[in-house]
């Protein structure tokens, strides 16, 4: 008597057209689900990066700042606070991330024969909150270099590619970059390293403000409080040297974008999973029912119910495995190529999370086995006389 494994292979080869159709359909569906699952990670990273680049939605100021004057002056305050506030925020794990400490002063910058009053901003690289490591929102500016706002550079007569040096507080600094216009006060500002600004203006360990992005979702869900209340309560427990301003419109827009993207992704993902489940169930059930006549013949020549069940389930699992491996590989490759070419913010650093294709393949194999079991049991337990001659 021929072994069950050999019989499975012979049966697949004998009905190669049906087997090929089953494999191709499974491959296409799994490729589609894999493609979306992999690109979904890319979409979420891309949207997170672009939403992050909208800017900080939380500003922490010295407690002495008069907020009316702060707004009236375009977001500038001469008061300062200790850098210890920054350390305390990190130590107590405030619901924030991408903390950017700044020191701002009004001064003058000179280039050639021109001297222009400017807003100078000493800025440090963004600091991630422990437990929330992410790629930096703000990178450090090398010592001895400055970045100029577009309007300031135009006033001074400095072009984007010019190798120029400007003078601030009698110190010559090289222009590393002329920033593109963004329609804010930064177009008329000078940016340089925080520690250098503190030294130039004799404000060691002093900050004018700390900008950050709120990460209050978990606390809001746990306490039922709004983001502003969560952050205010945390800051009050941490220090009395600072006050918090929340850019509500920006914060709400950021949260809405991420929430909408997540909801949309879940709907599409569920639809694709439903399509995968129904396709595998239907194809497996149909192919198993086609074997009823053969089951009668096998029973008549001495094959037992266990062998027949193994034959039917094994065929479905083997074809699903083949289609799943091909579909997973094709879907992953297409997704990776798409992400590299389409996602500017994260594309060149995009890597595939291989757990997604393997989970999809495993679920597909389990579904194929389960879908084949019921009709296989029915076919395998029927009397040979009831099965022979009833080919579907």
Using the predicted structure, report yes or no on whether residue 319 has a pLDDT greater than 70: yes
- At 283 the pLDDT is 75
| CA angle (299, 300, 301) in 5-degree steps | 90
Across 98-110, average pLDDT: 93
Asked whether residue 207 falls in the same domain as residue 285, the answer is: no
DSSP 254-281: HHHHHHHHHHHHHHHHHHHHHHHHHHHH
Q: Is residue 322 part of a domain?
A: yes
The pLDDT tens digits of the residues spanning 117-150 come to 999 999 998 888 887 766 677 788 998 899 999 9
Asked whether residue 114 falls in the same domain as residue 211, the answer is: yes
Asked whether residue 39 falls in the same domain as residue 81, the answer is: no
Asked whether residue 111 falls in the same domain as residue 240, the answer is: yes
Q: 35 or 258: which carries more pLDDT confidence?
A: 35
Q: What is the mean pLDDT of the chain?
A: 81
Q: Which of 246, 271, 290 lies at the terminal end of a domain, its last residue? A: 246
Across 14-19, average pLDDT: 76
Whole-angstrom distance, CA of residue 33 vs CA of residue 271: 9
By the 8 A CB rule, do 214 and 252 touch?
no
Asked whether residue 271 falls in the same domain as residue 302, the answer is: yes
Domain assignment of residue 214, given as a range: 58-246
Q: Is residue 217 part of a domain?
A: yes
Whole-angstrom distance, CA of residue 62 vs CA of residue 208: 7
Whole-angstrom distance, CA of residue 204 vs CA of residue 184: 28
Asked whether residue 106 falls in the same domain as residue 213, the answer is: yes
Q: Is residue 392 part of a domain?
A: no
Q: 191 or 182: which carries more pLDDT confidence?
A: 191
DSSP 136-152: -SSPPPPTTEEEE-HHH
**Rg of the chain taking only CA atoms, in angstroms:** 32
Structural domains of the chain, count: 2
Whole-angstrom distance, CA of residue 382 vs CA of residue 389: 13
Asked whether residue 240 falls in the same domain as residue 262, the answer is: no
Rounded to whole angstroms, the maximal C-alpha distance in the chain is 107
Lowest mean pLDDT among 33-47, 79-93, 325-339: 33-47
Asked whether residue 35 falls in the same domain as residue 177, the answer is: no
Across 359-381, average pLDDT: 74
Q: Which of 215, 246, 277 lies at the terminal end of a domain, its last residue? A: 246
Lowest mean pLDDT among 45-49, 58-62, 79-83, 136-140: 45-49
Whole-angstrom distance, CA of residue 169 vs CA of residue 200: 7
Using the predicted structure, report yes or no on whether residue 353 has a pLDDT greater than 80: no
Q: Which of 217, 246, 275 lies at the terminal end of a domain, its last residue? A: 246
Using the predicted structure, report yes or no on whether residue 219 has a pLDDT greater than 60: yes
- What percent of the chain stands above pLDDT 90? 25
Asked whether residue 214 falls in the same domain as residue 349, the answer is: no
Q: 241 or 12: which carries more pLDDT confidence?
A: 241
Report CA dihedral (77, 80, 86, 87) to the nearest 10 degrees.
Answer: 180
Asked whether residue 221 falls in the same domain as residue 282, the answer is: no
Q: Is residue 25 part of a domain?
A: yes
By the 8 A CB rule, do 173 and 144 touch?
yes
Using the predicted structure, report yes or no on whether residue 62 has a pLDDT greater than 90: yes
Helix (H/G/I), strand (E/B), else coil: 176:
strand
């Amino acid at each position: 008597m021929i072994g069950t494994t050999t019989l499975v292979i012979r049966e697949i080869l004998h009905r190669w057209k049906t087997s090929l159709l089953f494999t191709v359909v499974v491959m296409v569906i799994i490729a589609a689900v894999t493609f979306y699952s992999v690109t979904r990670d890319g979409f979420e990273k891309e949207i997170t990066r672009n939403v992050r680049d909208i800017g900080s939605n939380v500003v922490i100021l010295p407690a002495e700042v008069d907020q009316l004057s702060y707004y009236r002056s375009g977001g500038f305050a001469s008061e300062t606070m200790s850098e210890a506030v920054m350390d305390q925020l990190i130590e107590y794990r405030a619901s924030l991330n991408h903390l950017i400490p700044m020191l701002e002063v009004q001064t003058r910058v000179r280039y050639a024969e021109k001297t222009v009053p400017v807003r100078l901003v000493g800025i440090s690289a963004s600091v991630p909150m422990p437990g929330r490591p992410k790629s930096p929102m703000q990178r450090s500016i090398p010592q001895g270099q400055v970045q100029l706002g577009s309007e300031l550079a135009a006033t001074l007569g400095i072009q984007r590619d010019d190798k120029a040096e400007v003078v601030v507080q009698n110190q010559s600094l090289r222009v590393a970059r002329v920033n593109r216009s963004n329609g804010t006060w930064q177009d008329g500002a000078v940016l340089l390293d925080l520690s250098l600004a503190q030294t130039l203006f004799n404000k060691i360990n002093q900050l004018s403000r700390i900008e950050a992005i709120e990460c209050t979702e978990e606390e809001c869900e746990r306490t039922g409080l709004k983001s502003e209340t969560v952050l205010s309560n945390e800051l009050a427990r941490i220090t009395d040297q600072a006050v918090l301003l929340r850019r509500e419109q920006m914060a709400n827009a950021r949260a809405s974008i991420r929430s909408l993207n997540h909801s949309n992704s879940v709907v599409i993902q569920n639809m694709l999973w439903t399509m995968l489940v129904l396709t595998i169930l239907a194809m497996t059930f149909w192919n198993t029912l086609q074997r009823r006549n053969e089951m009668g013949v096998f029973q008549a020549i001495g094959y037992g119910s266990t062998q027949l069940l193994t034959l039917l389930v094994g065929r479905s699992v083997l074809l699903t495995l083949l289609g799943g491996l091909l579909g997973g590989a094709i879907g992953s490759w297409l997704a990776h190529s798409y992400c590299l070419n389409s996602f500017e913010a994260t594309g060149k650093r995009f890597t595939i999370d291989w757990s997604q294709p393997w989970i999809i393949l495993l679920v597909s194999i389990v579904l194929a086995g389960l879908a084949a079991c019921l009709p296989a049991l029915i076919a395998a337990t029927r009397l040979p006389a009831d099965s022979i001659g009833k080919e579907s």
